[in-house]
Amino acid sequence: MPELPEVETVRAGLIPAMQGRLIERVTLNRANLRFPFPEDMARRLGGRRIEQIDRRAKYLLLRLAEEETLLVHLGMSGRFSIEAGEDAAQPGDFVHAAPANPKHDHVVFEIEGGVTVRYNDPRRFGFMLIFPTDAEDEQPNLAGLGPEPTSNAFSGAALGEALAGKRTPVKSALLDQRVVAGLGNIYVCEALHRSGISPRREARTIPGVRAERLARSVREVIEEAIAAGGSTLKDFAGADGALGYFQHRFSAYGREGVPCSTPDCSGEIQRIVQAGRSTFYCPACQR
């Protein structure tokens, strides 16, 4: 599933094509994804201007004129592709061929200026919702989310407070979106390895020096992954069709049996299963 860096990469790719532009028409090629589309979604979006494109955790938020927001979750395999016709005004670098199988193009946005944006989702685990923008804090998908890991609200102190008293392993605690928003399995493994903290350690033992170290590692990993365009393991591609490259920098995730890259560590990466998810770590240097 795309994590925060991948969704942020998609957001950045959509901005030149959609932000500030009018949606001329929306075509729905099926009635649902993971859930049914909002009632009259195509009609409600047609003729509306996209004022801004934001992201919260793993959700895209398209801010529409007249104070409504279209929320998009990419699920496991959702992606956008962008095409511009001959009459498109200054299409820029976001125009690329779309290699995705067109039979999975479930939502098609026709944008002013001759731009077509397609939402393609072979597994159909994604979903879209429309809600009043001023009711955002009441939306079940957004209510109670923790701070963004690159925001000023996220710090060692804030992380320590969120983990205090939790007896669950820190790996599982970091996947709780109420602790920190947008983290998933890949980047949690990477941040724990970088900070030298065992994924088995109880979360309640983290507050203090470890929390400061872990918060710093989380922020660094996320910022580096965004700069690299996210990580491509199977389905992910940015809105321009480009693949992410952060997977080439993995120090732990997916590297079972490989010598640990931590300086002066003689251990090797092992894989364990926690709450049904694979965890990759070095038992020699992660304590």
Two structure tokens written together for 215: 């918060």
Name the burial class of residue 202, with classes exposed (0-12), middle (13-18) and buried (19+) by CB atoms within 10 angstroms of its CB: middle
Two structure tokens written together for 140: 């079940």
3-state DSSP helix/strand/coil percent for the chain, to nearest 5?
Answer: 30, 25, 50
- Any catalytic annotation for residue 3? yes
- Any catalytic annotation for residue 112? no
Name the burial class of residue 179, with classes exposed (0-12), middle (13-18) and buried (19+) by CB atoms within 10 angstroms of its CB: buried
Which residue in 48, 63, 201, 277 is the catalytic one? Answer: 277
Q: What is the CA radius of gyration of the chain?
A: 20
Using CA of residue 141, residue 144, residue 149, residue 152, what is the dihedral sign? positive
Q: Write the secondary structure of 96-111 as one string of H (helix), E (strand) and C (coil).
A: CCCCCCHHHEEEEEEE
In angstroms, rounded to a whole number, what is the distance separating the alpha carbons of residues 237 and 240? 8
In angstroms, rounded to a whole number, what is the distance separating the alpha carbons of residues 214 and 197? 8
Could you give the count of Cα atoms lying within 13 Å of 176 in the half-sphere of its Cβ?
14
Could you give the count of Cα atoms lying within 13 Å of 272 in the half-sphere of its Cβ?
12
Which residue in 58, 166, 210, 255 is the catalytic one? Answer: 58
In angstroms, rounded to a whole number, what is the distance separating the alpha carbons of residues 40 and 145? 29
DSSP states of 228-284 as a string? TT---SSS---TTSPPP-GGGG-SSTT-TTSBP-STT---B-EEEEETTEEEEE-TT
- Any catalytic annotation for residue 58? yes
- Any catalytic annotation for residue 277? yes
Q: Which residues are catalytic?
A: 2-3, 58, 277
